[in-house]
Chains A and B, each alone.
Chain A
Amino acid sequence: MAVPKRKTSKSRRDKRRATHSIDAPRVNGCPQCGSPKLAHRVCPTCGTYKGREVEKLRISAP
């Protein structure tokens, strides 16, 4: 069975792991309320999308 000939050095190991970081999500400010929101999505704070209210229904359920 094929086995590594050498132990992976700390340098080589850490260089591999240097790319493993995670980034914060890219967020924009909501044009209505200014709170952070994901692009192309409804604002989770004020429930608007492109300046329109989308969360609430216009008529109450029967």
Chain B
Amino acid sequence: MRHARTGKKLGRDSAHRKALYSNLAGQLIEHGRIKTTITKAKAVKPIAEQMITLGRRGDIHARRQAVAFLRSKDVVHKLFAEVAPRFADRPGGYSRIIKLGPRYGDAAEMVYLELVDGPLVFKTKLKPEVEETTASAAAVEDAEVEADAAEDAAVVAETEAASSEEAAGDELVADEAVVEEPGAVSAEADAEAVEAEAAADGAADKPSA
């Protein structure tokens, strides 16, 4: 029985409320973190997590259900291609609410509603990385400090460490790619030039013949 599970009206009629949920869930999936009031965050959190569950299913029916609610193929594509695969091994609980305090003006409690593994959350590199060694050392220290904190924090630290390693790896890969690409491009260009010459020779031969 689903007695007394009607939810909040949020001062809107049903169509307005549905549109609000759709927009907030879509923005959360698109950006990884949204700032809103605690009431809206609590209302949209289960809906957004249902959308991510649809993304984890990944079949065409789930995709159509997600499009029907989110009203945006772009957001649904990002959900199915990028967001949901990150949560493939997580049985629910994809988002968290972090309270920020009362808003100036109406004193509404503001929160961040964010995806728990968001790559854009926690531990900014405020300045561009100048020295690899110092940055990695700082990341290790952070990881140790946070491992002491809580289980949750430990998970975050692991993800942070992993992501920082990934970032370093990505940079290396990017450098190699930059180094390799000119060679590849020039090789292709050479091949094309050879073909073009051959074609030109052929074309030159034909009129003469």
Contacts and interface: CB of A to CB of B under 8 A. Distances in A.
A52 B100 CA distance: 14
Contacts of B145: 51
Contacts of B33: 57
B69 interface: no
Given A42-B99, A44-B101, A50 B153 contact: yes
B14 to A, nearest CB: 32
Interface residues on B, range: 20 to 34
Nearest to B118: A58
Contact of A50 (B100, B149, B163): B149
Contacts of A18: none
B122 A53 contact: yes
Contacts of A52: 122-123, 146, 153, 156
B121 A42 contact: no
B101 A53 contact: no
A47 B139 CA distance: 18
A57 to B, nearest CB: 5
Contact of B123 (A38, A44, A53): A53
Contacts of B123: 52-53, 56, 58
A51 B121 contact: no
B100 A42 contact: yes
A58 B120 contact: yes
B150 A40 contact: no
Interface string A31-59: 00000001011101000011111101111
A47 B99 CA distance: 11
B119 interface: yes
B26 to A, nearest CB: 18
A50 to B, nearest CB: 6
A54 B146 contact: no
B124 A58 contact: yes
Interface of B: 33, 98-101, 112, 119-126, 145-146, 149-150, 152-153, 156, 163
13 contacts: A41-B99, A42-B101, A44-B101, A51-B146, A52-B122, A52-B146, A54-B121, A56-B126, A57-B120, A57-B124, A58-B121, A58-B124, A58-B125
